[in-house]
Structure formats: structure tokens, C-alpha cells
Amino acid sequence: MANEIKMYGIANCDTIKKARTWMEKNGVSYVFHDYKKSGISPDKLEEWLLQVDLDVLLNKRGTTFRKLPDMIKENVNETTAIPLMVEHPSMIKRPVLEYEGGIIVGFKGPEYDAAVN
């Protein structure tokens, strides 16, 4: 990736819009990957899960997750969550910012500032 900053998310998400606005106001160049339109690979999700816990990456508060059958929700783990997130990328918390030092899940201005400067 060599210093490339990549933001993953869904274009029409309010949190993505805030993060993109922050990046632009701070003059930070980045590539945006809309995983609702372009998908997300199981390998990428596995890579992220090596860096953050499933509870950090999986959005359990969203309607997509809440609509799942109780048996699936109660037994979700890394093995079962990856195919769910591939099939329903809206279950991934947004944004996921990849930078040279790792990833940040969610929009946190001070963390973005520390990561990109």
C-alpha cells in the first residue's frame, strides 16, 4: 500500500460523509472503496480482524444485523461473521480507514489526525 490511505465504507452513510469532509478539510489524499457497490473480500475482512476485535468491526446496532434470525445473532463469531459481512457489507462498521500503521474503525477526528500526520 506504500503510504496510500484507503477509506472503506458506503458512500451515502452520514459517518462516511463526516470522515470524507474531515479528510478533505485537512488536505489528506485518500482512495475511497464503496464496499456496497464494489464488495469486500473475505481476505480483507480476515486481515482487518487480525488488527481489531470482531465487536469493533461488526455493526450489531444496524438494522441488517438486527433482522438476522436470533440463532445466527446469538452464535456469531469470526468464522460466521466473515461470510455475513461479505454478503451484507452494511454490517461492517463505517468507515474503515487503512493507513500505513494499521486501521481505524469508525470516524474519530483525533485518531485520524494522529494516523495521517
| Annotation says 13 is catalytic | yes
Collapsing DSSP states into helix, strand and coil, what is residue 94?
coil
Tally of CB atoms within 10 A around 70: 7
Of the candidates 10, 13, 49, 76, the residue annotated as catalytic is 13
d(CA 64, CA 76): 14
Q: Judge whether 62 and 93 are in contact, CB under 8 Å.
A: no
Give the active site residues: 13
